[in-house]
Amino acid sequence: MGKTYIVYNPLSCSGCGKENAEKAAGFYKAEEVVYKDICGTDYSKIFAETAPEDIVVICGGDGTLNHFVNETKNIAFENSIYYYATGTGNDFLRDIDGVQGEKPICIDKYIKNLPSVKVQGKDYLFLNNVGFGIDGYCCEVGDNMRAQNKEKISYTAIAIKGLLFHYKPTNATVIVDGKEYNFKKVWLAPTMNGKFYGGGMMPTPEQSRLDEESKVSIMLLHGTGKLRTLMIFPDLFKGELGKYTKNNTVLTGKKITVRFETPRAAPIAGETVTGVTEYTVEAGVTAKIK
């Protein structure tokens, strides 16, 4: 029997990273567990000391998982990867019908053939989505508040205030597999690898992260005023935007480019990229799901 490597961020979950890692270790025999603080060790060093039969458990949330897939994309390893969810949003866990606090789940099939996004000259893999629009605005404001050491950050409150007073929609051009579409007054334009993002919003309820062709979907919320948009938002968490046929558009393909007339922030792979006018997503290599 191989060893179990538990990788964790001690700063995650308000400093409870090590405590959560110890909870994950409770599912394995203590003498087989090796803890790795990711703040002090990079993944190349971790995998350099593992044997093929060892397993690696990622302890954290969506941000930790996105960090993992990007930091290991050029590292060859044979180990199975498991996930022990300790995050707050847990959109990946929700999408695979996992339950927080239960035994770590093998995620090998979910971290293969991931889509990539190119933005401002950089390439990222992403597990859940690329955000663009008022979701990026909320992340940008939240990051600024965190930098000012403000303790209570309510993204719901930020979104409501943004909708009513601060955020203005923009026009967008979207190109899906070579076909161009144009939209007025776009509030949201996330490209999705799974169904969920933003702590439970479901813009693309039909999207599968195990799609046989590795296709992704973009959802656009467009053509609405502030009050109507505010009224529609609760249905975004229910996955029921499909009933708003004039204001909700979902497009699916293998290559998607989104262009905004004016710059916006874009949450990508756990990072908020500011001043973005365009991003391009390309689906992963065609998946071969057993």
Angle at 162 between CA 161 and CA 164, to 5 degrees: 65
Residue 223: predicted pLDDT = 96
Q: 70 burial class (0-12, 13-18, 19+ CB within 10 angstroms)?
A: buried
Q: How far is 56 from 33, CA to CA, in rounded Å?
A: 10
- Give the right CATH number for 4-110 from 3.10.580.10, 3.30.70.920, 3.40.50.10330, 1.10.10.10: 3.40.50.10330
The total of other beta-carbon atoms located within 10 Å of residue 119's CB is 21
Residue 13: predicted pLDDT = 67
Secondary structure class of 194 (helix, strand, coil): coil
The total of other beta-carbon atoms located within 10 Å of residue 144's CB is 12
Residue 110: predicted pLDDT = 96
The answer to whether 248 and 189 are in contact (CB under 8 A) is no
Secondary structure class of 159 (helix, strand, coil): helix
Cα of 144 vs its chain's centroid, Å:
20
Q: CA nearest 80: which of 155, 160, 2, 132?
A: 2
* Architecture in CATH for domain 116-282: Sandwich (2.60)
Per-residue pLDDT tens digits of the chain, which is 290 residues long: 689 999 988 877 666 778 888 899 899 876 789 999 888 788 999 999 999 999 999 999 898 999 999 999 999 999 999 999 987 888 999 999 999 889 999 999 999 999 999 999 999 999 999 999 999 999 898 888 888 887 777 778 888 888 888 999 999 999 999 999 999 999 999 999 999 998 889 999 999 999 989 999 999 999 999 999 999 999 999 999 999 999 999 999 999 999 999 999 999 988 899 999 999 999 986 443 33
Q: Whose structure tokens read 């009513």?
A: 164
| CB contact set of 23 (below 8 Å; sequence gap of 6+) | 84, 86, 101
Two tokens, residue 256: 């998607």
Q: CA nearest 66: which of 282, 278, 272?
A: 272
Q: How far is 275 from 269, CA to CA, in rounded Å?
A: 16
Element (DSSP H or E) covering residue 236: helix 226-238
Sorted by where each begins, the domain ranges of the chain are 4-110, 116-282
The answer to whether 228 and 185 are in contact (CB under 8 A) is no
pTM of the model: 0.91
The answer to whether 258 and 266 are in contact (CB under 8 A) is no
Q: How far is 25 from 82, CA to CA, in rounded Å?
A: 12
Q: How far is 274 from 266, CA to CA, in rounded Å?
A: 6
Residue 158: predicted pLDDT = 87
